[in-house]
Amino acid sequence: MFTDVGYERTTYRRSASRLTIAAHLFGLLAFILMLVWLVHYREGIEYDSSNPNRVFNAHPFFMFCGFIFLAGEAMMGYKTVKAEHSVQKFFHAILHLTALCLGVTGICAVFKYHDMWLLGLSAFLFPGSSTITRAKMLPWHVCGGRALFYMAICAALTGLIEKFTYMGIQHNREARLINFTGLSILLYGIFVDLSVALARYV
């Protein structure tokens, strides 16, 4: 019986590690494709530019980097990296705070162009909350985090579709680049979720 359990854990660990590697690759691919798209086809990224297009381009870039890429890395880091629990919590919190800062910058960029997590943070980052409170909050924290992660992905894909449809994409290469960027973002999200789910068995 114990041998079977050990074998299952080893199998899940291998599956989770492979999925985590795939998630990292798709995340980096999406990052590179978005960067190429915004710099090569959309005039670049510059938050303080006098060019409104460059200011707006900061919106999708920072939103992806924060609410999708770093949020996914924070989820995977907490579940898949072998470390002390306090270390896992620290890096999970740091990555999420960085993601929040980048996301807020992206939101500010879109507001400039047009001229949440607090409950989980308070329960898990600060040591004052009781073990019972943390245990009660854990399912909501996990489900809420995954829901926000997928909502960010849906928002990113919707934004790419909007650009493709309403902004007059005229080059076939740019259209294909947008499609592959969207696909990479979606696959990143799927592999992050699978990696986190399988890592529970490790």
Q: Is 196 exposed, middle or buried (0-12, 13-18, 19+ CB in 10 A)?
A: buried
| Whole-number pLDDT of residue 176 | 87
Residue 4 has pLDDT above 60, yes or no: no
More confidently predicted of 2 and 138:
138
pLDDT by residue (tens digit) across 91-113? Answer: 888 998 999 899 889 888 877 77
> How much is the mean pLDDT over the chain?
81
Residue 6 has pLDDT above 70, yes or no: no
Q: How far apart are CA 178 and CA 175, in angstroms?
A: 5
Question: Which pair of structure tokens corresponds to residue 147?
Answer: 């829901």
Question: What is the rounded average pLDDT of the residues 106-125?
Answer: 66
Residue 188 has pLDDT above 80, yes or no: yes
Q: How far apart are CA 35 and CA 49, in angstroms?
A: 17
pLDDT by residue (tens digit) across 44-89? Answer: 998 888 888 888 899 999 999 999 999 999 999 888 888 888 888 8
CB 18 within 8 A of CB 165: no
Classify domain 2-199 at the CATH class level.
mainly alpha
Closest CA to 159 of 59, 91, 69, 23: 59
Residue 161 has pLDDT above 50, yes or no: yes
Q: Is 202 exposed, middle or buried (0-12, 13-18, 19+ CB in 10 A)?
A: middle
| Whole-number pLDDT of residue 1 | 44
Closest CA to 181 of 196, 194, 168, 164: 164
pLDDT by residue (tens digit) across 11-49? Answer: 555 667 888 999 999 999 999 999 999 999 888 998 888
Question: What is the rounded average pLDDT of the residues 1-19?
Answer: 58
| Whole-number pLDDT of residue 201 | 45
